[in-house]
Amino acid sequence: TKSVTINTLYKLKASGEKFVVISLYDAHMAAMAQRCGVEVVLIGDSLGMTVLGYDSTIPVTMEQMIYHVEAVARGNKKSLIIGDLPFMTYGTPEDALRNCARIMQAGAQMVKLEGGTWLADTVRMLAERGVPVCAHLGLTPQSVNKFGGFRVQGRDADSAAKILADAKLLAEAGADLLVLECVPAALAAQITREISIPTIGIGAGKDTDAQVLVINDILGLTEQPPKFSKNFLLEANDIAGAMQKYVADVKAGVFPAEENTFF
Ligand code: KIV
Ligand code: NA
């Protein structure tokens, strides 16, 4: 097995040490993340918007995800590898079981799925069949057209309560990790206190158990970078230095700062 497993992440949560996640897509970046001590690498379907130039993640296919999971897995033998399932490849439990198996066989040790209540049965079926699941709540980009844009979620009391309830339900169903994207910091902190599985924040404040950023944002490649991200290359001499700075700042609790946070 990998040197980082879900047990490692549970121990880090228990000890209060933050862990670090990077969404990246290729073997060299994956190898560098391993050298920089990044615990988890995610092959995000954000690859549709970064590598492939689409306006959203909706066009991403299973074949594209598999191609990139294989590349990352070749480059990194230590970090836990999570692969995203793209839009509408897990809409039914049957589709989820088949497509999660393909991502695992491509080299991931965990799959990530966007969604709340409706996904609980699927998560339970995957867990029972040996497939670790990272759930993803808040601004779930595959639902961008239902949200009417990339907007912060959980700002009013009703939607905050819904996200908290979904988080509890998915954890009870057997999810192993939970990504919280673009939610107020206080809500992410409350969820992190009230569920037993580790939370990974992006635009969710500093109190989640871990942070995730997209490599293209870390390296300042994004033309209009989101407020929650940071160009770490500005404070480093090279790409390894930028990754090391991101890791150090998450571990020290200085990233995300208030300017990267929604309230
Ligand atoms: O696709 C992605 O990179 C993601 C992370 C930003 C959480 O889902
Ligand atoms: Na994603």
pLDDT tens, position by position, 238-261: 999 999 999 999 999 999 999 999
Using 50, 70 and 90 to split pLDDT, how confident is the model at 222? very high
Whether residue 52 is contained in a domain is answered as yes
E strand or H helix at 178:
strand 177-181
Contact assessment for residue 22 and residue 38, using Cβ atoms and an 8 Å cutoff: yes
Residue 1 has pLDDT above 90, yes or no: no
| Residues paired with residue 215 on neighbouring β-strands, in sequence order | none
Whether residue 54 is contained in a domain is answered as yes
Output the pLDDT for position 2. Answer: 82
Output the pLDDT for position 224. Answer: 93
Q: Is 15 annotated as a binding residue?
A: no
Percent of the chain, pLDDT > 90?
Answer: 99
Q: Per the structure, how many domains does the chain have?
A: 1
Whether residue 41 is contained in a domain is answered as yes
Output the pLDDT for position 66. Answer: 99
How many Å apart are CA 21 and CA 110, to the nearest integer? 13
Output the pLDDT for position 168. Answer: 98
Whether residue 1 is contained in a domain is answered as no
Q: Which domain holds residue 138?
A: 6-260
Ligand with an atom nearest the CA of residue 40: 1
Q: Which of 112, 139, 211 has most ligand 1 atoms within 8 Å of its beta carbon, as the pocket-test mutant?
A: 112
* Mean pLDDT for the chain overall: 98
pLDDT digits over 15-44, tens only?
999 999 999 999 999 999 999 999 999 999
Output the pLDDT for position 55. Answer: 96
pTM score, two decimals?
Answer: 0.98
Instruction: Write the CATH number for 170.
Output: 3.20.20.60
Report the pLDDT averaged over residues 132-142.
Answer: 98
Tell me the DSSP string of 7-37: HHHHHHHHHT--EEEEE--SHHHHHHHHHTT
Q: Is 238 annotated as a binding residue?
A: no
Would you say how long the chain is, in residues?
Answer: 263
146 Cα to the center of ligand 2, angstroms:
16
The reply to whether 181 belongs to the active site is: yes
Q: Whose CA is nearest to atom 8 of ligand 1?
A: 44
Nearest partner of 80 among 112, 49, 116, 115, judged by Cα: 112
Report the pLDDT averaged over residues 214-242.
Answer: 97
How many Å apart are CA 203 and CA 182, to the nearest integer? 4
Q: Measured from the CA of 181, which atom of ligand 1 is nearest?
A: 7
Residue 91 has pLDDT above 90, yes or no: yes
